[in-house]
């Protein structure tokens, strides 16, 4: 009879489970967001007589490139809505780029779960609040390098996930608010 090797995987704790659940939601939210940006380009490209086919090639076009093109098309289509509308769309695009960058960083960096503890008097571990620690991807291991790790509570991370999840809904609300001012579809013009 042979002995089964013991598993080296440790049982997860509730804090770690919640972190992984939230990280999965973040990745899923950005993937869904990416899909919807593609759908918008697929509609707005022909609407504005713009070829966007190179941005809709699966696994080749990057979300950042799609967002840049969508930004150009939206600013053109909603230009008649005026400066207030364009400023609102501009802020939305800034948030969209930040969410994309955050997901990229978080997916490629290292996490401490928990990485640190926020101790309260009298300084016992049992009373300490666990913190997440994110370390951006890099290979500089010199002792004098700047510590660029980020510490956050699970609640702060949950707020970032919530913001990413609500991103496309905010876009849709802007479009609906200003749709009456949108330029109509341009007639087809042969080349």
| pLDDT for the residue numbered 10 | 61
Task: Give me the residue label for tokens 């809505």.
Answer: 81
**Which residues of 89-186 form beta strands (DSSP E)?**
110-118, 129-135, 150-152
| pLDDT for the residue numbered 78 | 95
Instruction: Reply yes or no on whether the pLDDT at 117 is more than 90.
Output: no
| pLDDT for the residue numbered 138 | 82
Q: What is the mean pLDDT of residues 155-161?
A: 95
Percent of the chain with pLDDT over 70: 91
Instruction: Reply yes or no on whether the pLDDT at 145 is more than 80.
Output: yes
Burial category of 99 from C-beta neighbours within 10 Å (exposed 0-12, middle 13-18, buried 19 and up): buried
Please tell me the pTM assigned to this model.
Answer: 0.80
Query: Structural domain boundaries of the chain?
Result: 15-138+147-181
- What Cα–Cα distance (Å) separates residue 67 from each residue in 38, 99, 109, 110, 187? 9, 12, 23, 26, 25
Give the three-class secondary structure for 145: coil
């Amino acid at each position: 009879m042979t002995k089964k090797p013991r598993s080296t995987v440790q049982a997860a704790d509730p804090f770690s489970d919640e972190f992984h659940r939230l990280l999965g939601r973040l990745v899923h939210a950005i993937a869904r967001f990416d899909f919807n940006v593609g759908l918008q380009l697929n509609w707005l490209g022909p609407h504005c007589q713009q070829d966007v086919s190179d941005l809709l090639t699966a696994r080749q076009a990057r979300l950042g490139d799609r967002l840049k093109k969508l930004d150009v098309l939206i600013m053109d289509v909603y230009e008649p809505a005026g400066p207030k509308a364009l400023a609102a769309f501009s802020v939305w695009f800034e948030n969209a780029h930040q969410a994309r960058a955050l997901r990229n960083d978080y997916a490629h960096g290292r996490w401490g779960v928990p990485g640190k503890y926020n101790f309260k008097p009298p300084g016992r571990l049992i009373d300490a609040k666990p913190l997440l620690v994110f370390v951006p991807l890099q290979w500089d291991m010199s002792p004098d390098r700047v510590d660029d790790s980020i510490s956050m509570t699970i609640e702060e991370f949950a707020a970032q996930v919530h913001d990413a999840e609500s991103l496309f809904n905010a876009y849709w609300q802007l479009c609906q608010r200003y749709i009456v001012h949108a330029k109509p579809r341009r007639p087809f013009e042969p080349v």
